[in-house]
Amino acid sequence: MTRTVWGLGTPRTFRPLWALAELGLEYEHRRILARGPGMEDEHFRRLSKRHKIPFYEDDRVKIGESAAIVIYLADRYGGDILPMPAPGTAERAILQDRSLFIMTEIDARIYTIRLHHAPPQGLSELYGAAPAAVEAAKTYVENSLNEAARWLQDGRLYVLGEHFCTPDILLASCLVWAKLCGISVPKQLVEYLQRVASRPAFAVAMTCNDPSNAKPDD
């Protein structure tokens, strides 16, 4: 079976690459950059009507939201490596609660900063500078990170307890992104990120996601 991931160079493309590395799955990596020439690839444009990366396809699905890709891969292949609670259980409800909080209250707000911040971290030349919106979003993210830090106050190693799971991929990638944007990260989450980033699959995915790996025409 062929698995294909399109995209590299962003925290969102990093997530499926990390999940695939954790699971030890083979895949084809189409190394196209956001807003690069590779986005005009005919096959990619047929797949992604949103014209966004990342994008994932296999024998069953063609999906583009990074969290959905990670959760799908864990549901299908996770086993003991990325364990997933069964649908309808309290554990699954907590996983969904944490995952959706990370994506809506942290990821989406950091993306606001990226859109309106000055280069090189931001895209204000494309979407317009909005200093007030950037500062408000930073404060919002910092408050949301305090909530995420609360999840670890009982001494657990990971978001859901003693086992590394999909919300950890989502949260850790946001923490890397937050630090790049100059957002204050609580000490508890700094220590958590150091722990999670020591996983071999994290380093593998970081290398795969390095934008310098793009072809000159991508």
Q: Are residues 52 and 134 in the same domain?
A: no
Over the stretch 143-189, which tens digit does the pLDDT of each residue have?
A: 999 999 999 999 999 999 999 999 999 999 999 999 999 999 999 99
- Quick one: pLDDT at residue 40? 86
Q: Are residues 98 and 64 in the same domain?
A: no
Tokens of 88: 């309808």
Q: Are residues 70 and 97 in the same domain?
A: no
CA 46/CA 56 separation, integer angstroms: 13
- Quick one: pLDDT at residue 126? 63
Q: Are residues 10 and 54 in the same domain?
A: yes
Residue 77, class by beta-carbon neighbours within 10 Å (0-12 exposed, 13-18 middle, 19+ buried)?
Answer: middle
Residue 218 in domain: no
- Quick one: pLDDT at residue 216? 53
Over the stretch 2-33, which tens digit does the pLDDT of each residue have?
A: 999 999 999 999 999 999 999 999 999 999 98
Q: Are residues 186 and 109 in the same domain?
A: yes
Q: Are residues 33 and 99 in the same domain?
A: no
Please name which of 96, 110, 125, 119 lies closest in space to residue 176, comparing C-alpha atoms: 110
- Quick one: pLDDT at residue 30? 94
| pLDDT band, very low/low/confident/very high, at 49 (cuts 50, 70, 90) | confident
CA 211/CA 38 separation, integer angstroms: 13
Over the stretch 90-107, which tens digit does the pLDDT of each residue have?
A: 999 999 999 999 999 999
Q: Are residues 19 and 77 in the same domain?
A: yes
- How many residues comprise the chain? 218
Q: Are residues 24 and 75 in the same domain?
A: yes
Q: In sequence order, which residues have a C-beta less than 8 Å from that of residue 43 and are 6 or more positions away?
A: none
| pLDDT band, very low/low/confident/very high, at 134 (cuts 50, 70, 90) | confident
Q: Is residue 56 a contact partner of residue 16, using CB atoms and an 8 Å limit?
A: yes
- Quick one: pLDDT at residue 45? 87
- Dihedral over Cα of 211, 204, 110, 91: its sign: positive
- Quick one: pLDDT at residue 177? 94
Q: In sequence order, which residues have a C-beta less than 8 Å from that of residue 20 and are 6 or more positions away?
A: 3, 5, 27, 73, 205
Position 124 pLDDT exceeds 80: no
Q: Are residues 102 and 172 in the same domain?
A: yes
97: domain CATH number is 1.20.1050.10
19: domain CATH number is 3.40.30.10
Q: Are residues 112 and 191 in the same domain?
A: yes
Bridge partners for 56 per DSSP? 5, 63
**Domain housing 15:** 4-82+204-213
- Tracing tokens 């670890």 back to the chain, one arrives at 152
Q: Are residues 142 and 69 in the same domain?
A: no
Q: Are residues 149 and 111 in the same domain?
A: yes
